[in-house]
């Protein structure tokens, strides 16, 4: 935001003192203050915290603002929107989800240009004030993102299928390998780039992902049932040595190329 001249000053707030120190050292923020001081000094408040804390904190922040714009970057949207649906200043809040992230967390994980050419979803846009919505859209376009609008329930469903299941699969695969392969050195030496790319999400912060799975429980369980069903098909085709069925399963999966390429 500084580089795109969207901000004259960036004020950081963090519950972790070490992260606060690093953010200043890395020049991600100009200073770190208390939440109340930051709200008082700010025109725009950006919430990038685990979604359980977001739901707790958002009503309090809405109580304290005057006319500031408030936006969040959470991976689930329904609970946050519902937490302030009847708040008199609801219009000052814009619910967003930039579709980008890595398996790392904390200030040292920051990457320049991370959001360029990525999608950002804006949820329930009609519930936000026109000026707040316009500024948030302008900001995301300025930093290189393309915009999608979606209702919160639809967002949470699609996020479960596109993002949340990827993390569960990665966590489960890591646990499978750690359970069956007792030689850590063997894992290190034999793990190919394919395995590493598949399991990299297993390094993600549990404090972030447990609340996401719990808040999106219904959709996550739905996608898990389908995923388990697909795994069972692979298992049965191999057990029965049904080469033709296994071939069809893989060919069906290959259709993803048309979308992702």
Superfamily of domain 11-150: NAD(P)-binding Rossmann-like Domain (3.40.50.720)
Residue 258 has pLDDT above 70, yes or no: yes
Domain 155-260 in this protein, CATH class = mainly alpha
Question: For the residues 164-170, what does the mean pLDDT come to?
Answer: 94
| DSSP letter for each residue of 77-127 | -HHHHHHTTT-TTGGGEEEEEES---S--SGGG--TTTTTT-EEEEESGGG
CB atoms within 10 A of CB 146: 11
At 182 the pLDDT is 77
At 261 the pLDDT is 77
Residue 255 has pLDDT above 80, yes or no: yes
Report the residue count for the chain.
261
At 136 the pLDDT is 98
Residue 189 has pLDDT above 80, yes or no: no
Residue 75 dihedral angles phi and psi, to the nearest 5° = -85, -10
What is the average pLDDT score of the chain? 94
pLDDT digits (tens, 9 = 90+) for 114-141: 999 999 999 999 999 999 999 999 999 9
Q: Where residue 193 falls among pLDDT bands split at 50, 70, 90? A: low
67 CA to centre of own chain: 27
Residue 93 has pLDDT above 90, yes or no: yes
Q: What's the alpha-carbon Rg for the chain, to the nearest Å?
A: 21
Q: Where residue 223 falls among pLDDT bands split at 50, 70, 90? A: very high
Q: Bigger pLDDT: 257 or 217?
A: 217
Q: Are 12 and 24 in contact (CB under 8 A)?
A: yes
Domain range list for the chain: 11-150, 155-260
Percent of the chain past pLDDT 70, that is, above it, reads: 99
């Amino acid at each position: 935001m500084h580089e795109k001249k969207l901000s004259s000053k960036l004020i950081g707030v963090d519950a972790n003192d070490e992260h606060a120190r690093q953010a200043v050292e890395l020049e991600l923020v100009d200073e770190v203050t208390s939440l109340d001081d930051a709200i008082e000094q700010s025109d725009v408040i950006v919430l990038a915290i685990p979604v359980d804390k977001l739901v707790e904190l958002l009503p309090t922040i809405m109580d304290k603002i005057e006319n500031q714009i408030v936006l969040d970057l959470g991976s689930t949207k329904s609970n946050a929107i519902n937490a302030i649906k009847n708040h008199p200043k609801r219009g000052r809040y814009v619910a967003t989800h930039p579709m980008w992230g890595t398996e790392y967390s904390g200030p040292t994980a920051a990457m320049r240009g991370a959001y360029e050419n990525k999608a950002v979803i804006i949820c329930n846009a009609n519930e936000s004030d026109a000026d707040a919505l316009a500024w948030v859209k302008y900001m995301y376009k300025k930093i290189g993102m393309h915009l999608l609008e979606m209702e919160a329930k639809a967002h949470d469903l699609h996020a479960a299928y596109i993002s949340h299941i990827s993390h569960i699969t990665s966590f489960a695969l890591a646990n499978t390998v750690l359970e069956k392969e007792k030689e850590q050195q063997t894992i290190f030496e034999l793990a190919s780039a394919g395995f590493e790319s598949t399991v990299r999400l297993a390094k993600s912060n549990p404090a972030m992902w447990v609340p996401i799975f719990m808040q999106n429980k219904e959709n996550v369980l739905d996608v898990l049932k389908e995923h388990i069903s697909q795994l069972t098909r692979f298992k049965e085709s191999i057990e029965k040595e049904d080469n033709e069925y296994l071939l069809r399963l893989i060919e069906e999966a290959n259709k993803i190329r048309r979308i992702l390429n």
